[in-house]
Amino acid sequence: MDLIVARNREDLVKARRAGTVALVPTMGALHEGHRSLIRQARVRADQVVVSIFVNPLQFGPSEDFSRYPRTFDADLDVCRAEGAGVVFHPAAEDMYAPDRQVAVSAGAMGGVVEGAFRPGHFDGVLTVVLKLFNLVQPDLAVFGQKDAQQLALIRRMVADLDLPIAILGAPTVREPDGLALSSRNRYLSDDDRRVALALSRALRAGAARLAPAEIRAAAREVLDEAGPALDVDYLALVDPATFTEVNETYAGPAVLAVAARVGATRLIDNVTLTLNPA
């Protein structure tokens, strides 16, 4: 079946077929990581809807909304190749009324770790995701683990608001050198890329330890070795359900997360660990 491009709500309603529907929300500039999300959706649903919408609500005043890559024709080729059934590509004015007033609050978890450096970011993310859920009405939605805090907040929203949608987290896809795939990687120069590899190296160094203090120290040492070319926002070892920092007595799953700027490009990465295993 040919790929359907729905550019408004009416097109989306017409495109929906009987059976289970999976949603893969994206901002476009699709890469192999997005392909993996579409593949996982395909094996779980009769119809896959990929949304492509650069959401202005999740960008701060000094962030890269205007610079964010937009590659719609190439994105359609990716969706077609991976067997998606529908691409939902609305305009901003179709998603947000000019006099809009109501939005979703990310609560306490939205203000820590990534949220501490990007105030309001997760409010914007949850608002657009809830709108997409209401418009597409999927049975399940697939998100990447690379945005671990976003994934945790979406799961929290689904639980707190009693949304009848299953949320699937897909593993982070990496380049052969370990760099996590990101639409922003295209902005890295060769020198920037060499510096950016410190993020994944730091996570691997931390993952090789067991105690929280050792994990943080090992990861921080790698980041420090990268020098001033790597401007680190945070290195955090957190409970994956709340994104609060874990203490030395914590046992169970944890997320080691890092964010840093390399040149003009901001990158995030994380790895899931199990602390103090019995």
Domain 185-269, CATH: 3.30.1300.10
Q: Please, where in the chain does CATH 3.40.50.620 lie?
A: 4-170
Question: Which amino acids are annotated as binding site for ATP, given as ranges?
Answer: 27-34, 144-147, 173, 181-184
Is 34 one of the catalytic residues?
yes
- What's residue 278's pLDDT? 63
Intervals of CATH 3.30.1300.10 along the chain: 185-269
**List of residues 6+ apart from 214 with CB closer than 8 A:** none
Query: How far, rounded to the nearest angstrom, does the alpha carbon of residue 212 sit from its chain's CA centroid?
Result: 25
pLDDT in tens, 117-141: 999 999 999 999 999 999 999 999 9
> How close are the terminal C-alpha atoms of the chain, in Å?
51
Please check the confidence at residue 1 and state whether its pLDDT lies above 80: no
Cα–Cα distance for residue pair 212/222, rounded to 1 Å: 16
**Assigned fold of 4-170:** Rossmann fold (3.40.50)
- Cα dihedral 163, 39, 267, 74 sign: negative
pLDDT band at 247 (very low <50, low <70, confident <90, very high): very high
**Catalytic position from the list 21, 24, 34, 122:** 34
The strand order across the sheet containing 4-6 reads 4-6, 86-88, 47-52, 21-26, 140-144, 166-170
Q: What is the pLDDT confidence band of residue 276, given thresholds at 50, 70 and 90?
A: confident
Tokens representing 216 are 């943080």
CB-count exposure of residue 159 (10 Å: 0-12, 13-18, 19+): exposed
Average pLDDT of span 41-53? 98
Give the model's pLDDT for residue 188. Answer: 95
Which residue(s) pair with 253 in the sheet?
274
- Whole-number pLDDT of residue 83: 97
* Residues annotated within a binding site for (R)-pantoate: 58, 150
> Residues 199-223: pLDDT tens digits?
999 999 999 998 999 999 999 999 9
| Structure-block tokens of residue 91 | 């305009």
> Inter-axis angle of helices 121-136 and 148-160, to 10 degrees?
60
pLDDT in tens, 96-122: 999 999 999 999 999 999 999 999 999
pLDDT, position 64: 83
Enter the tokens of residue 106. Answer: 């990310």
Per-residue H/E/C for 213-268? HHHHHHHHHHHHHCHHHEEEEEEEEECCCCCCECCCCCCEEEEEEEEEEECCEEEE
Annotated binding site: 27-34, 58, 144-147, 150, 173, 181-184
